[in-house]
């Protein structure tokens, strides 16, 4: 529960502050810097990986589990068909924004 609470709070915070900070950077430094905004993901990702490896203990397996290949195949098929259907609907002009 605590992990989900932290994740939800971080998601809400970044959703609220991301556009504001992005707009501030663009206003301050001009439109030519918009690509550089995405470079912030590199150090944040490296910090996240470091914290994961250094601070989060590995789980000990309690029992042997098998990979659900049937479920993986069905999920792949379902998401593929969903993507195809949405793409085909948009190509035929059936989208909501057309």
pLDDT above 90 for 89: no
pTM: 0.44
pLDDT in tens, 78-87: 999 999 998 8
Q: Which domain holds residue 16?
A: 1-58
Tell whether 2 and 49 lie within a shared domain. Answer: yes
Q: Are residues 72 and 39 in the same domain?
A: no
Q: Are residues 29 and 46 in the same domain?
A: yes
46 and 75 fall within a common domain: no
Same structural domain for residues 3 and 21?
Answer: yes
Q: Are 26 and 33 in contact (CB under 8 A)?
A: yes
Same domain (yes/no): 53, 73: no
How many domains does the structure of the chain reveal?
Answer: 2
Where do we find the tokens 């609220």? 16
Please report the beta strands in the chain, taking only residues with DSSP state E, as ranges in sequence order: none
Whole-angstrom Cα distance, residue 80 to residue 89?
A: 14
Tens digit of each residue's pLDDT (9 = 90 or more) over 50-69: 999 999 888 887 888 889 99
Instruction: Kindly state whether residues 40 and 83 are assigned to the same domain.
Output: no
Residue 58: what pLDDT? 84
């Amino acid at each position: 529960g605590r992990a989900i609470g932290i994740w939800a709070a971080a998601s809400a915070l970044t959703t609220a502050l991301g556009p504001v900070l992005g707009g501030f950077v663009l206003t301050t430094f001009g439109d030519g810097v918009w690509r550089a905004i995405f470079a912030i993901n590199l150090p944040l990702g490296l910090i996240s990986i470091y914290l994961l490896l250094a601070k989060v203990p590995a789980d000990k397996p309690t029992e042997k589990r098998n990979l659900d290949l049937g479920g993986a195949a069905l999920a792949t098929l379902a998401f593929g068909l969903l993507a195809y259907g949405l793409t085909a609907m948009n190509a035929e002009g059936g989208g909501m924004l057309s």
